[in-house]
Amino acid sequence: MPTALRTPRTASLSPSRRRTPEVTATNPLNTPFTTVDAAELYQVPNWSGGWFRVSEKGAVEVTPSPGLHAPLRSIVDEIVERGESLPVILRFPQVITGRVKHLNESFQAAIQEYGYGGHYQGVFPIKVNQRRVVVESVAAAGYDYAHGLEAGSKAELALCLAQKMHPDALLCCNGFKDDGFIKLALWGRTLGKNVVITIEKYSELDRILKQAKALGVRPAMGVRFKLHARGSGQWEESGGDQAKFGLNAYELLRVVERLREEDMLDTLVMLHTHIGSQITDIRRVKVAVREATQTYAGLVAAGAQLKYLNVGGGLGVDYDGSKTTFYASMNYTVKEYAADIVYTVQEVCKARSVPDPVIVSESGRALTAHHAVLIMPVVDVTGPTRDLEDLAPADENSHQIVKDMEEILVNITGRNYRESYNDAVGDKQTLHNLFDLGYVTLPDRARGEALFNAILRKIAKLIQHEKYVPDELEDLQKVLADKYICNFSLFQSLPDNWAIQALFPIVPLDRLNEKPTRQATIVDITCDSDGKIEKFIDLRDVKATLPLHEPGDRPYYLGAFLMGAYQDVLGSAHNLFGKVSEAHVTVRPGGRFNIDLFVRGQKARRMIESMGYEEPMLRDAIEDQADAALKTKTLAPGQEQELLEDYGEELLGYTYLEYEES
């Protein structure tokens, strides 16, 4: 039996759980800040899975295989030197190759260890990421393993049929289907593809049989069963009796009987199950696989000639590195996942005297999340007023409330900080009330607000190493946080963060040998107040701020990691910010790299045209307005051509901010 998993340290923690500041073992008080401290601060070893690391020089490096490494900052610098604009997504196909290899070899190792009588064949559901570099990388890396693809629509099927695949590799057709979908799948059989059409609802069976008879093609079918077992995490509701897809036990037996009547029982080759995406708890996987295998054995006993047991998707990604059942984590490894599935299937089949089936899983997130990094340039920083020196000091004409706040600031100590905080909060409220009534001037209000922020910063410094922090002071870091404005759209590039509060590790690309001195949140450049990131990964909880460095003369870049699954396909066109440019990078020995392909992001005119406008119409409208402006003399002679050139240039430009990088 697989080795028992260790009990998660914080499996029951919720995002709202409070935590007290503590001194880490790697960075006791008053010691120099090192790259080891940085790696721990940003949890790089915990979430990266070995695909990224912090170098001795303080830079984040991609490490797609032993002996290969390259600093992300150097890659970005080369892109900028080529004259390309940021933001940009860095894609590392070698990481996809490594993930495909790791998954397949984990199952092979488990099969060998337990003497399992069948084998394993993975399937990549391309709904996770249909980008060409992703699909082709998975297909190429999986060829020797007969690793297949899964399509959930006609468009996806058309894409999958064009891929070079091992003859035995599965091409699973899932989702609801019309006649066109089914016919295309059947034509795939004539092309030599191992296409299996999944019956998602009982009525699809007649449709498949009708089209197969019309084309004279003998189909291969699977049937999805609604497991009683359910997954864990954010997609728990996608499994169980109320699942969107699948047949119940009675309908499964009806499929068997109908195919027996048609003398086509041999065409039912797969039982397909699924309990949800990003399963956080391995125990849920084992329970579901046991139920699925019992169902498989029951269908075999009923006369079905099944070959494949498809346990579906759900293999998670540890986004926060905590190795717990928290929704952004997982309390198991890929090897443990494979071992538990193989052992459970074998155990049930042995008890039921059923031959071991070919095990199929549909892992997508686990194969693609690690390969892509969003590079976000910091373009500005805003936040609470820091410099009291920039404001006029209080004098005899200043309001007494301002003088009181200055006295609070001077007299704060480790003994009275709680009392000082309460006094400052009361004084700030009084300050605003008096301003509304006209008794406090605007300069006094500005001075008072700056003093309040200074009081909070002083208190935060005093309590940063306290074992107990009063409830009212828990959110000081968030209140004092700076806003780092980054050149990207949250809705386009990290939509899951906005929509379902998904967490993505965010790390500065370099300067990791320097101690970060600011606590920050991240805001994008959209005109939407929701375009912000205020939740960050942490081993014990979800942090409200991210430690960052003081921006300097050199461009400061942040990387959002593990964003290679779903984000490319779910992004929206909020404010008409389009798809981001992307660089496909191969890492070479000696810290070198090649940018094999650079795909420029969408131009403004393409985004505008997607809303129903036409470029010539836009240009004509501006030209007509320019002619009218010349007549009214709001446009000077000679400026019309310059205006039209600038307008045309922006239509052909990147939708994101374009700054001259220094």
Q: Given the structure tokens 């590079």, which residue do they identify?
A: 375
Identity of the amino acid at 441: T
Identity of the amino acid at 526: T
Identity of the amino acid at 141: A
Q: What is the 3-state secondary structure (H, E, C) of 421-437?
A: HHHHHHHHHHHHHHHHH
| Residue 578 labelled as part of a binding site | no
DSSP 3-state assignment of 235? coil
DSSP 3-state assignment of 630? helix
Name the nearest CA neighbour of 310 among 198, 206, 203. 198
| Residue 309 labelled as part of a binding site | yes
Q: How many helices (H) and strands (E) does the chain have?
A: 22, 21
Question: With contact defined as beta carbons under 8 Å apart, do 85 and 578 qualify?
Answer: no
Question: With contact defined as beta carbons under 8 Å apart, do 659 and 651 qualify?
Answer: no
263: alpha, beta or left? (left if phi > 0; alpha if psi -120 to 50): left
DSSP 3-state assignment of 583? strand
Alpha helix ranges (H) inside 235-364: 249-261, 282-301, 334-352
| Residue 423 labelled as part of a binding site | no
| Residue 313 labelled as part of a binding site | yes
Can you read off the two tokens belonging to residue 365? 């997130």
Beta bridge partners of 13: none
Greatest alpha-carbon pair distance for the chain in Å reads 101
Give the Cα-Cα-Cα angle 292, 295, 296 (nearest 5 degrees): 85
Name the nearest CA neighbour of 270 among 224, 230, 228, 318. 224
| Residue 318 labelled as part of a binding site | yes
Name the nearest CA neighbour of 459 among 481, 480, 433. 480
The per-residue DSSP string of 377-415 comes to EEEEEE-S---GGGSPPP-TTS-HHHHHHHHHHHH--TT
Question: With contact defined as beta carbons under 8 Å apart, do 510 and 59 qualify?
Answer: yes
Instruction: For CA atoms 136, 137, 140, 145, give the dihedral sign.
Output: negative
Cis preceding-peptide flag for 15 (omega within 30 of 0) = no
d(C-alpha 190, C-alpha 187), whole Å: 5
Name the nearest CA neighbour of 278 among 227, 303, 312. 312
d(C-alpha 304, C-alpha 298), whole Å: 9
353: alpha, beta or left? (left if phi > 0; alpha if psi -120 to 50): left
| Residue 317 labelled as part of a binding site | yes
d(C-alpha 62, C-alpha 92), whole Å: 8
Residues labelled catalytic: 527
First to last CA, the chain: 59
Strand-by-strand arrangement of the 68-71 sheet = 52-54, 60-65, 68-71
Residues tagged in the binding site annotation: 309-319
Residue stretches of the annotated binding site for substrate: 309-319
